Amino acid sequence: MKHLLVIALVLLAGCAPEDDGILRISGSAVGDEGEILRRQVTAFMEENPDLRVVVQRTPDDASQRHQLYVQWLAARTGRPDVLQLDVIWTPEFAAAGWILPLERFAPDTTGLFDAALAANRWEGSLYALPWFVDVGMLYWRTDLIDAPPVTLEELSRQSAAAAPEYGFVWQGARYEGLVTVFLEILTGHGGRIMAPDGSVEVDSPEGRTALVWLRDRIGPNGDTPRDVLAWREEEVRFAFQNGRALFMRNWPYALPLVDGEGSRVAGRVGVAPVPGTRPDRGAAALGGSQLAINAESANPEGSFRLISYLTHPERMLERARATGQLPPRRDLYDDPRLQAHLPAPAERMREIVEAAVPRPPTPAWTQLSEILQIHLHRALAGQTDPDAALASAAREMEAVLARMGLHERQRGDATPPPPSR
C-alpha cells in the first residue's frame, strides 16, 4: 500500500509541472549566440523584476538538439518553458501537441517574411514567433581571387587552381546541416527534394548530378578534405578562419567571427550567394530559429512576455549587431542601423532571404531528413554509389510518408494522420 502511494506520488510529480517561479529558456550557443542571449535575458529581468529566467544551453548540432528536445517534451515536465526551435521543427512539435498555439496572446506578426511565418503555422494556427533567419552563403578569400564564382563549375575551377590548403569546405557530417548543403547544390542543379504535393522527387537526374558534384569534391583529386564528413558549422568555420580554405559554405553568424579579431583572414573575406549550374540558379537554404512555448509550461503568460521581448525589432537589431544573424522582419532591412552588419547591401539581402529555399514543412521532416542524411553521407564517403543512395532514400522516405498518412494529407485530402508518437 505504502509502495503504491509512493508510486502514485512520483507519477503525479512527473505529470504536474511544478512551478518554482523560474522561467527556463533553451537556446543554442553557436559562435556569439550564447553571449547575446545572456545579455538580453539579463535586460529582460531588469524590466520584469517579477520573473527569473535561466538559460539552458543545448548542443550546437541541430540534430542532437532535436533529440534532446524530444526527450524533454515527451517527458511533459513543462521544462524548459520557452524553446528555440529550428525552422523545420514547428509542424512536428505542434502536431504532437508539445507547444502552444499563440493566438491567445495576440502576437505581433507585422512585417515578418512570409516563409518565416509560414514555417510556424500548423493547421491554421501560429505556434512560434520567428527570431532570426538563416541563409546559406559562400564565403571567399578576397586576397586569393578577384571575384566570387557565379556557377558551380567556376567554383570547382577556382578551388582547384587557387586553393591554399583546401578549396571548398562545407558541412558534411551526418546531421541536418548536410541536408541544407545538399539542398543548395540540388536547387543549383534545378532539382528538389519534394514536390509541393508532398511526393518525393530527390531520386532524379538532377539529384544524381548534384550528389555526384558534391562527392567529387572529396578525395585525393578533389578540393574538399575528407574531414568534412565529420564537420559541422563550427569545424568548417575554424578551417576557413585559420586560412586553410579558399571557399566556405556557412550561415551569416560566421561573418563577424571570420572577419573579426582573432581570425587569421580578417579583412580578406567576401560573401556571395552559393552558385548553381547557371548564373541564375544560385540558391540559399532557408534556416533560422523561432521561439515557442512548451504546452506544459507552468507560466505561459510569463513565457510569452519573454518571447515578445526577445523578438522585439530592437532586440533583433542588437542580435544582428552582435552575431550577424539576420532579422526575420522585412521592414528592418530599411533601417540604416542594420546595414553595417549585413554581408551585402540590405536590399540584396532581403532578396536573398525571400528567394531562399525552405525544407518541406511537414511534421515528418525529422524522419525524412534522417533518411537523407544516412544515404547522402554513405554516398559522399564512397560506401554506396549516388544512384543507389538516392533510390533507397526516396523509397524509405515514401514509406515514412505513407505510414504517417501524410501523402494524402499534403495533397489536400484532410484525413488526419495517426499520432506519430
In the chain the first and final C-alpha atoms are separated, in Å, by 33
Neighbours of 382 (CB within 10 A): 12
Residue from 27, 33, 44, 86 binding ligand GLC (CB under 6 A)? 86
- Output the smallest distance, CB 384 to ligand GLC, in A: 23
- Output the smallest distance, CB 375 to ligand GLC, in A: 18
Omega of the bond leading into 80 within 30 degrees of 0 (cis): yes
- Output the smallest distance, CB 108 to ligand GLC, in A: 22
DSSP annotation of 311 reads T
Residue from 25, 82, 85, 87 binding ligand GLC (CB under 6 A)? 87
- Output the smallest distance, CB 10 to ligand GLC, in A: 37
Q: How many residues bind ligand GLC (CB under 6 A)?
A: 11
Residue (of 164, 268, 285, 148) closest to 225 by Cα position: 164
Q: Which is nearer to ligand GLC, 29 or 96 (CB)?
A: 29
| DSSP-based three-state secondary structure for 57 | strand
Q: Which is nearer to ligand GLC, 94 or 298 (CB)?
A: 94
Stretch that binds ligand GLC, among 137-145, 176-184, 255-263, 311-319 (CB under 6 A): 176-184
Q: Which is nearer to ligand GLC, 209 or 311 (CB)?
A: 311
- 323 contacts: CB under 8 Å, gap ≥ 6: 31, 32, 33, 36, 253, 256
101 binds ligand GLC per the rule CB under 6 A? no
| Interface with ligand GLC in residues 123-162 (CB under 6 A) | 134
Neighbours of 357 (CB within 10 A): 19
325 binds ligand GLC per the rule CB under 6 A? no
Residue from 91, 149, 172, 177 binding ligand GLC (CB under 6 A)? 177
Q: Which is nearer to ligand GLC, 287 or 300 (CB)?
A: 287
Q: Which is nearer to ligand GLC, 252 or 302 (CB)?
A: 252
Long-range contacts of 61-70 (CB under 8 A, 24+ apart): 61/173, 61/175, 61/176, 61/177, 61/232, 62/86, 62/175, 62/176, 62/177, 63/175, 63/176, 63/369, 63/370, 63/373, 64/175, 65/28, 66/176, 66/366, 69/26, 69/93
Stretch that binds ligand GLC, among 31-39, 91-99, 172-180, 333-341 (CB under 6 A): 172-180
Q: Mark residues 279-298: x for contact with ligand GLC by CB under 6 A, - for none.
A: --------xxx---------
DSSP annotation of 358 reads P
180 binds ligand GLC per the rule CB under 6 A? yes
- Output the smallest distance, CB 311 to ligand GLC, in A: 16
273 class by beta-carbon count within 10 Å (0-12 exposed, 13-18 middle, 19+ buried): buried
| DSSP-based three-state secondary structure for 224 | strand
Q: Which is nearer to ligand GLC, 66 or 208 (CB)?
A: 66
Q: Which residues pair with residue 135 across a beta bridge?
A: 286
Helix residue spans in 287-416 (DSSP H) = 300-310, 313-323, 336-339, 346-355, 365-380, 386-403, 406-410
* Radius of gyration of the chain, Cα coordinates, nearest whole angstrom: 22
- Output the smallest distance, CB 86 to ligand GLC, in A: 5
Report CA dihedral (111, 112, 114, 120) to the nearest 10 degrees: -150
DSSP annotation of 285 reads B
- Output the smallest distance, CB 343 to ligand GLC, in A: 15
* 50, 44 Cβ separation under 8 angstroms: no
251 binds ligand GLC per the rule CB under 6 A? yes
Q: What is the DSSP string of 260-274?
A: STT-TTTT-EEEEEP
Neighbours of 247 (CB within 10 A): 28
- Output the smallest distance, CB 90 to ligand GLC, in A: 11
- Output the smallest distance, CB 287 to ligand GLC, in A: 3
Measured from each CB, the residue nearest to ligand GLC is: 287
360 binds ligand GLC per the rule CB under 6 A? no
- Distance (Å, rounded) from C-alpha 287 to C-alpha 62? 11
Q: Which is nearer to ligand GLC, 163 or 210 (CB)?
A: 210
Residue from 33, 81, 176, 370 binding ligand GLC (CB under 6 A)? 176
- Output the smallest distance, CB 87 to ligand GLC, in A: 5
Stretch that binds ligand GLC, among 145-153, 174-182, 314-322, 372-380 (CB under 6 A): 174-182
62 binds ligand GLC per the rule CB under 6 A? yes
- Residue ranges in contact with ligand GLC by CB under 6 A: 62, 86-87, 134, 176-177, 180, 251, 287-289
